[in-house]
Amino acid sequence: MHHSAPDNPLYLRFLQGRQDQPPIHKWHHYFEVYHQAFAPFRGRPVTMLEIGVQRGGSLRMWQDYLGPQARIFGMDIDPATEAHGLPGAKVFVGDQADPDFLRAALAEMGPPDIVLDDGGHTARQQITTFDVLYPAMRLPGAYLIEDTHTAFWGGPFADDPQGRSIYDVAFGVCQRLHEWTGRAGSMDRLGIPPGERGAADAVSDLCRTTESVSFFDSMILFRRGERAEPWHEVR
């Protein structure tokens, strides 16, 4: 049984292209989500950051998939992974739960178009990384967190000082998507053609720059993009 489409180039590479390559450890069903999230960036001069490098196999997979114009950076807490850095990029070695380390990596790398968080998978790591990196991304962009099933494991994975999991943060972003339409008093305004309204109502940057939040088994995908005020009408 195939868990991804047989013509998915990432999945084909995972299944068939492993000879003489560093190993890659992935759930099979992830490849459909990867292709859906990252296909629009193929062949473009994009910057990707993968958190969690292990033996470097997936860094090479992303380079092959996105193309020679893409810069593929890595991030890992293990100093040995620094040796897996790709030409024109590098592996940042440090703790993804350290905001200062994340900001220093951003300063060196520049704003990413794609972030894939396959790091330590604790609540504090996932939440801190999202809080720092997500607002710094380019538009459009894709921020994908994987192995989010650890949010249900408890124990050392439940280490956020406020008791949150990454799902609490993601649900909060879902709420922010509705800052325009969630105000009952705004419905009349949102029925006026956009060019006749004047300046848009103030909303948070999260609302204005997040197109969608998608949930999959063990994955959360945030799509970034510039949003305009919604418009409803009767025709």
Model confidence pLDDT, tens digit, residues 24-51: 778 788 999 999 999 999 999 999 999 9
pTM, two decimal places = 0.92
Structure tokens at 124: 């504090």
**Position 53, amino acid:** V
Catalytic residues: 121
Residue-wise pLDDT tens digits, 205-232: 999 999 999 999 999 999 999 999 999 9
Continuous H helices in the chain: 9-16, 30-38, 57-66, 99-109, 123-133, 166-176, 187-190, 205-209
Distance CA 2, CA 224 (A): 30
The answer to whether 182 and 170 are in contact (CB under 8 A) is no
Task: Please indicate whether residue 13 or residue 232 has the higher confidence score (pLDDT).
Answer: 232
How far is Cα 111 from Cα 138, in angstroms, rounded to an integer?
6
pLDDT band at 125 (very low <50, low <70, confident <90, very high): very high
